[in-house]
Amino acid sequence: MAVVYVARSAALTKWASDVGLGKHTFKLGVAADKEAARAAAEAGWAGETDWKILHSQEVEGLSEEDALARLGRREKAVDPAYYPRLKGAAGVYRISLANVQNSLLVARAMASDEPLTEIKVKPKDIAEYMIRNAVP
């Protein structure tokens, strides 16, 4: 069974912030299993080796191209051809916090037991949002 995962690199986040992409830059990918995802994160992307997998989920019959296309409808993918530092690393996204906050707010409104208060978005919330929008 395939695994869809979201990873984050502190060094790439710092670079993205410096070049104007913002500090909410994450990588979405699909691997054959959890070990393959972990191995890919350890090998690294975009010249960085400090990638950490924030969240993963097992899915059936999902290719990486399909997952990237589905998430691309909601969020802006960073073009690896435009930024040479990314070196062809597909699946790097610049995430809008407003979209994540709206998604969490709607989820809380649908669950009537939680009060509607200000939402502080954490990296794990962003990872869950990305996977929720990438999986059919």
Q: Of 4, 132, 128, 126, nearest to 62 (Cα)? A: 4
Domain membership of residue 37 as a residue range: 2-95+124-131
pLDDT attached to residue 126: 92
Which residues are within 8 A (CB) of 100 and not within 5 positions of it... i.e. 6 or more apart? 121, 125, 126, 129
Q: How many domains does the chain have?
A: 1
Say if 102 falls within a structural domain.
Answer: no
Which residues are within 8 A (CB) of 70 and not within 5 positions of it... i.e. 6 or more apart? 133, 134, 135, 136
Residue 17 clears pLDDT 80, i.e. is over it: yes
Say if 88 falls within a structural domain.
Answer: yes
Cα-based angle 106, 100, 127 (whole degrees, multiple of 5) = 120
Say if 60 falls within a structural domain.
Answer: yes
The length of the chain, given as a count of residues: 136
pLDDT > 90: percent of the chain: 42
Condensed to tens digits (0 to 9), the pLDDT of residues 31-75 reads 988 999 899 888 888 888 889 999 999 999 888 899 999 999 999
Say if 108 falls within a structural domain.
Answer: no
Say if 33 falls within a structural domain.
Answer: yes
pLDDT > 70: percent of the chain: 99
Say if 56 falls within a structural domain.
Answer: yes
Say if 119 falls within a structural domain.
Answer: no
Instruction: Return the structure tokens found at 113.
Output: 């037991």
Contact 64, 29 (CB under 8 A): yes
User: How confident is residue 114, by pLDDT bands cut at 50, 70 and 90?
Assistant: low
User: How confident is residue 94, by pLDDT bands cut at 50, 70 and 90?
Assistant: very high
Residues 28, 4: Cα–Cα separation, whole Å: 7
Residues 67, 36: Cα–Cα separation, whole Å: 17
Say if 111 falls within a structural domain.
Answer: no
Residue 124 clears pLDDT 80, i.e. is over it: yes
